[in-house]
Amino acid sequence: MHLQSVFFAFAVVGGTFFVLRSVSLFAGFGMDDAASGGAEGADFDAGDSAAVGDSDGSPSGDFRLFTLNGLVSFAFLFGLTGWLLLRDGVAGPVAASVAAVAVGTFAMWATGRIFSGARKLQTDGTVRIADAVGADGEVYLAIRPGKAGQVRVVARGQSKIFDARASDPAEDLPTGTPVRVLSADTALVVARK
């Protein structure tokens, strides 16, 4: 079998998986490497030669080189580069092989960096009670002296209703009263604005 045929086979197989994986990711059917919990192969930290993991076996490093996406990228560009260099007569078998490995390795590294960056873009939209401290709001359910009620507060860009009590236990805060959140524990502690 000729070396050019080997490169062509890598390009076709890698390219097919690359297209299928890309379509499934953009359509929302696939999971990125972080969501799959490292179940898709050997995951290596960028600076180590051995897998690094937490006690549950999940990878602790954010950047991983050997992933399904990285290996697919390597196979596709390794094969394509080697095949094109041999087909056009630009390089001999050794030079084409070295160039193909270099381009494939770069593609694998770049894919790892892209997915690492994409994971950093994910955010947690959960609003916690502590996020409301310092925010202004209004009483939603009247807060009677010595009793708890509810307030509506915008926290992390979301309007939420929290249980609340007045900072002065003798204070009566009827519905619609503007308040400021002073602190939070199991409920918000609010004061009239």
Alpha carbon distance 173, 57 (integer Å): 52
Planar angle of CA 65, 4, 114, nearest 5 degrees: 20
Planar angle of CA 147, 151, 157, nearest 5 degrees: 155
**Residue 73 backbone dihedrals phi, psi, to 5 degrees:** -65, -40
What does each of the 193 residues of the chain score in pLDDT, given as a tens digit?
A: 588 888 889 888 888 888 888 788 777 775 544 444 443 334 444 333 333 333 334 344 455 667 777 888 888 989 898 888 888 888 888 998 999 999 999 988 888 888 777 777 766 677 788 888 999 999 999 999 989 999 999 988 889 999 999 999 899 999 999 999 999 888 888 888 8
pTM attached to this predicted model: 0.47
Residue with tokens 């996406």: 69
Superfamily classification of domain 129-192: Nucleic acid-binding proteins (2.40.50.140)
DSSP bridge pairs for 160: 153
Buried b (16+ CB within 10 A) or exposed e, 94-122: eebbebbeebbbebbbebbeebbeeeeee
pLDDT of residue 36: 41
* Count of residues in the chain: 193
pLDDT of residue 65: 65
Q: Is 126 left (phi over 0), alpha (psi -120 to 50) or beta?
A: beta
Rg (CA), the chain: 28
| Residues whose CB is less than 8 angstroms from the CB of residue 140 and which lie 6 or more positions away in sequence, other chains included | 149, 150, 151, 152, 161, 175
pLDDT of residue 64: 63
pLDDT of residue 139: 94
pLDDT of residue 63: 54
pLDDT of residue 11: 87
pLDDT of residue 118: 75
pLDDT of residue 153: 94
Determine how many CB atoms are found less than 10 A away from the CB of residue 74.
Answer: 24
Residue with tokens 């770069």: 106
pLDDT of residue 171: 92
pLDDT of residue 148: 92
Is 31:69 a contact under the CB 8 Å cutoff? no
Domain ranges of the chain: 3-121, 129-192
